[in-house]
Amino acid sequence: MKRIKFAAIFLTIKGVQQVAAAEHRGATFGDLFSNAIFRDIVISISATVGLYVVASIIHVGGLNFEDYERALIIASR
């Protein structure tokens, strides 16, 4: 997870620097999402972190399918 965080921060900083250098002025919020490379980085990192959170919830037991199965068996009686 530390590698993902480092890569996310590093790529974000490099993306902002690239947008600021291309515009020859400070980068605004709209400029960041008009840059295709930066937008793709944000989408991919968001998807990776989102899948990590979902997998963590399932692993910890937040979605325990055995309980749902027992409830269905009891309800069908």
Model confidence pLDDT, tens digit, residues 19-57:
777 767 666 777 667 777 778 877 888 898 889 888 887
pLDDT of residue 25: 67
Q: What angle do CA 21, 32, 55 make, to 5 degrees?
A: 130
pLDDT of residue 68: 67
Higher pLDDT, 75 or 49: 49
pLDDT of residue 27: 66
Inter-residue contact 11 to 32 (CB < 8 Å): no
Q: Which residue has the tokens 């947008």?
A: 19
Inter-residue contact 16 to 31 (CB < 8 Å): no
Model confidence pLDDT, tens digit, residues 9-21:
887 788 778 777 7
Inter-residue contact 55 to 61 (CB < 8 Å): no
Higher pLDDT, 60 or 9: 9
